[in-house]
Amino acid sequence: MRILILPTRWESRAALRSLPGALPEPEWDVPTWRVGNLLIVEPGIGPELMAASLPHIESLGPHAVWLFGWCGGLTPELRVGDLVLADATILSERDHDLATRISHPPPDPLLAQVRCLAEKLNLRMIVGPVLTSDHLLTSVEEKRTATATGAVAVEMEAGPLALWTATRSLPFIHLRVVLDPLVSPLPSTRLLTDEHRRVSKRTLLFYALTHPRDWSALWNLIRQARAAGQVTADVIAALTQPDCPLYPKRN
């Protein structure tokens, strides 16, 4: 059993476009879908929700865990839609009492296969450490500060998952699509709704009406999300083909 974790509804919706046979698993507390021997789990944004989902993921008895979603770029060369394959997870500075860096280099055959897929899709891919932050890095200044960690990108879920898989000697593959480059700020207020931190169109409209100073950042985010969503769908479509790493074998 392989587990594919897609943190948010935007990311899972984009991926599921390429998995028309995926069926929801209604008995689980978090949104979960199954297609063949592949399970897709949507835990929500942030290390707390990721950590809370670990008992659910462990109960599934995974043989390998993939984390796929969007990230912020921390190097100048990364643009919207580029791929980042993590070879290590760097924990937030607030987690200094834990290991600050967890290595999980992708096996050479998998690395070569993902590189080949990226080339076929005409996508640029870099390999490097990814920072797990416990809060959104919304300003360019925050992102530039985060570059001191040595990370090439930043996200909010990998830390607990990297620790969990390392203690169980489970393969952990962490692949990301760049949503916001280094010089691209995000809206200054977190757009959160329910316990899974999903954003509705109504919430976006209300936010736009009440935060006119963020119109430019919000519009850029919507445009970037569309581009990242298309790349997400294309990558999942490629990874789930026969003889590819996430091919969902059916009984």
d(CA 205, CA 6): 25
The yes-or-no verdict on residue 32 having pLDDT over 80 is yes
Mean pLDDT of the region 15-23? 91
How many residues are present in the chain? Answer: 251
Cβ neighbours for 205, distance < 8 A, ≥ 6 positions apart: none
* pLDDT, tens only, 127-165: 999 999 988 898 999 999 999 999 999 999 999 999 999
**pLDDT at res. 140:** 94
Cβ neighbours for 83, distance < 8 A, ≥ 6 positions apart: 114, 118, 123, 124, 125, 126, 175, 176, 177, 178, 231, 235
d(CA 33, CA 155): 23
* Structural domain spans, the chain: 2-239
Q: Residue 199 is encoded by which pair of tokens?
A: 């954003």
Cβ atoms within 10 A of the Cβ of 247, count? 15
d(CA 186, CA 183): 10
Question: 48 with 156: CB under 8 angstroms?
Answer: no
**pLDDT at res. 200:** 53
Mean pLDDT of the region 215-225? 76
Q: Write the burial class of residue 190 (CB in 10 Å: 0-12 exposed, 13-18 middle, 19+ buried).
A: middle
**pLDDT at res. 199:** 54
**pLDDT at res. 202:** 57
Cβ atoms within 10 A of the Cβ of 119, count? 11
* pLDDT, tens only, 88-104: 999 976 544 444 899 99
The strand pair at 64-73 and 172-180 is best described as parallel
Question: What is the per-residue burial (b if ≥16 Cβ within 10 Å, else e) of 61-84?
Answer: ebebbbbbbbbbbbbeebebbbbb
* pLDDT, tens only, 197-216: 455 555 555 555 555 566 56
Mean pLDDT of the region 31-54? 93
Range in 1-10, 19-28, 81-90, 146-155 with the lowest mean pLDDT:
19-28
Listed residue (246, 135, 133, 230) closest to 179, CA to CA: 230
What class is the 2-239 domain? alpha beta
The yes-or-no verdict on residue 23 having pLDDT over 60 is yes
C-alpha triplet 204, 11, 40: angle, nearest 5°: 140
Q: Residue 50 is encoded by which pair of tokens?
A: 């990721």
**Identity at 210, one-letter amino acid code:** T
**pLDDT at res. 182:** 96
Band the pLDDT of 194: cuts 50, 70, 90: very low
**pLDDT at res. 216:** 66
Residues 231/164/45/3 CA torsion (nearest 10 deg): 40
